[in-house]
Amino acid sequence: MKRRSSFLNTLNLTIEQLSKDISSGDISPLDLIEDTLERIAKLNPKLHAFITILEDYARQDAKNAELEIKQGKYKGPLHGIPVSLKDLIYMKGVRSTSGSKILSNFVPNYDSTIVKKLKNAGAIIVGMNNTHEFACGLTNINPHYGSSKNPWDTNRMSGGSSGGSAVAVSAGMTTASIGTDTSGSIRVPSSLCGVFGLKPTYGRVSKYGVQELAPSIDHIGPIARSPWDIAAVLQAIAGYDKLDSSTIDLPVPDYIKAISEEGGKEGKKGLDKFKLGIPIQFFFDIIDPKVMRVFEKFVDKLNGCGISAASVNMEHTDKIFDSWRAIRLGESATVHSEWMKSRRSDYGDNVISMLEKGMEITAVEYIRAHKMRKEIRTAFLKAMTGYDALLVPTTIIPAPLLNQTTVNINRDTIEVYHALSRLTTAFDITGLPALNVPAGFVEVEKDKLPVGVQLIGKPFDEEMLLRISHAYDEHYRVSEQIIPPLT
């Protein structure tokens, strides 16, 4: 393999580009990992994207990958590619803190299913990403390990709870990261940091070996710089797992083939057949006017690549918050009930406060919430009739300042947590696949801050979301343009 003496600018490279160069021998996995580790060492003290960096492990795996590829044993697009994990995904022999004091010294003695699949695909795990404590929040303000900083403005939040993952990808510290999403924790930081982030259908990706938050709405998915990259990672991690009873035994499509011009259901000529529905109710009731303008411009740009959008009616949107609240808070309190008794003082203030609210959820509320979630899911599926997917904003605000607790929208004062989660929780309780797509920028006090939109799909139709977003990305080269101002 060829050695490069010059620094590889990983900030501008995607898995799609790197995999071609690695498979052809133009880039050495060892060079790529060295450059990745160098960038992490340079930026992490400022951005706090990683809690643990696996230098020795990554170097050894890079050497192994280089040897395998030289021997003609190329495993596919993730072979030799640096990826990272949210620090609640278990990797044998590696500290897994869940962003908490309670698990600060916890070292699992087995690999999660996701880690096994990434290793089988040849991916090189370079570290564990910072997270909101126990994934129990959307700001990534962490009292134990420092708060991850938004690479577009380090005075602002990354969003969470997969904040370190989104920061690492946005800042070019890794090509992709695996996050979790219970209230929007993949999509919110992806929106605020300007990257693609997919919450797959509930049951598409195994949760075995991942610290729980609210088991019936916990999801695992990838954050990356392009739809092609998301497809490559999803290909590796998706599928039925006998160790996780929540996974569904369905075939996993060839996602990369599906989004290619040859592999799509209609091919290139079929792009004008993509139809998106935009719900009239709920999703635009409360939204920053600047974010709304970005959304409107995004819809206009869809026409440029042959994707149409029309308004649709939605039922039962008034039940979204109550359904999510009872399930999310009630299940989280159950997961943490023993630690709440024995280690209460070791929780951060905002996390213990939220868990205590969960202890107040009654059995009646919880059972009613599950009934409502079914009604909401049915309503979304009805709204998708005649459409390939739905389209809504991801967040109603751009990234808040690190010390902000409330935001003002049209004279209304809203808590930051509720502002960030308002438009994402519906797809956790319904389990529908949702993909954040970078939509544009909001200008705030001389800063350019990215915000995203969500594509919502039918159950297990991640393929359609990837095809639509890939068509958009191919036309406008989003993944090449949304690069934060870092040196």
pLDDT in tens, 282-298: 999 999 999 999 999 99
Q: pLDDT tens digits, residue range 37-70?
A: 999 999 999 999 999 999 999 999 999 999 999 9
Q: Are 112 and 205 in contact (CB under 8 A)?
A: no
Task: Place 6 in a pLDDT band, splitting at 50, 70 and 90.
Answer: very low
Q: Find the mean pLDDT for residues 380-401.
A: 98
pLDDT at residue 8 in the model: 52
Q: Please report how the helices 15-24 and 227-237 are oriented relative to each other, as an axis angle in degrees rounded to 10.
A: 70
Task: Check if 185 is active-site.
Answer: yes
Q: Which one of 158, 161, 190, 226 is the catalytic residue?
A: 161
pLDDT at residue 446 in the model: 82
Q: pLDDT tens digits, residue range 299-308?
A: 999 988 889 9
DSSP assignment string, 306-358: TEEEEEE--S-GGGHHHHHHHHHHHHHHHHHHHHHHHSGGGS-HHHHHHHHHH
Please give the class, per CATH, of domain 10-270+399-481: alpha beta
Residue appearing with tokens 């902000």: 404
Task: Check if 161 is active-site.
Answer: yes
What gap in Å lies between CA 238 and CA 121, rounded to an integer? 12
**Cβ partners under 8 Å of residue 72, min gap 6:** none
Among 270, 290, 272, residue whose Cα is nearest residue 409: 290
Q: Which one of 96, 185, 191, 479 is the catalytic residue?
A: 185
Among 138, 113, 45, residue whose Cα is nearest residue 396: 138
Q: Which one of 19, 86, 191, 469 is the catalytic residue?
A: 86
SS3 of 199, please?
strand
Q: pLDDT tens digits, residue range 422-478?
A: 999 999 999 999 999 999 999 998 889 999 999 999 999 999 999 999 999 999 998
Task: Check if 421 is active-site.
Answer: no
Residue 96 has pLDDT above 60, yes or no: yes
Q: What are the sequence ranges of the domains in the chain?
A: 10-270+399-481
Model-level pTM? 0.96
